[in-house]
Amino acid sequence: MKSTLLALVSLLFVSCLSDNEPSKPVDYTVQNEKEIVDYIAKNNLTATKTDSGLYYVINEAGTGVQPTASSNVTVAYKGYFTNGNIFDKSDSAGFSFGLNEVIKGWTEGIPYFKEGGNGVLLIPSHLGYGNGSGPIPGGAVLIFDVKLIKVN
């Protein structure tokens, strides 16, 4: 009886230990690619894919200054998931920030536009929030309607 009880307690102890191990990052690359391609097809978009996996659509290229990955810019935007649920939105005056201070998808994507330009960034999770952050779930594809108001 003692050995059975000891075995049971040992099993419970080992089970609790395995629950405390940090979870390994999940690779969402294939899932994200399918989700983005399906979204593009469903919405009849003409998008360009970069080597990193970012997709972008230029509705208006703009005529002003073109930023670099280290520029400070003012951008008006709406961020949403492929199901249309909005998770963030600026006002029409936009929001100013350094492109080296935001997610990789913005650092790479915003320089495709010149001042006055607008379009869409379709960002796979490895260029966004990866395994999640705040209201953004792990593996989420992010879509941003963006307008580059100014390169500061």
Contact assessment for residue 123 and residue 143, using Cβ atoms and an 8 Å cutoff:
yes
Handedness of CA 43, 123, 105, 98 (dihedral sign): positive
Q: CA 78 to CA 85: how far, in whole Å? A: 10
DSSP-assigned letters across all residues of 7-56:
HHHHHHHHHHHHHTSPPPPP--HHHHHHHHHHHHHHTT---EE-TTS-EE
Q: CA 68 to CA 110: how far, in whole Å? A: 8
Residue holding tokens 């994200």?
32
Cβ-Cβ contacts under 8 Å for 132 (sequence gap 6 or more): 138, 139, 140
**Catalytically annotated residues:** 77, 87-88, 103, 129, 144
Contact assessment for residue 151 and residue 128, using Cβ atoms and an 8 Å cutoff:
no
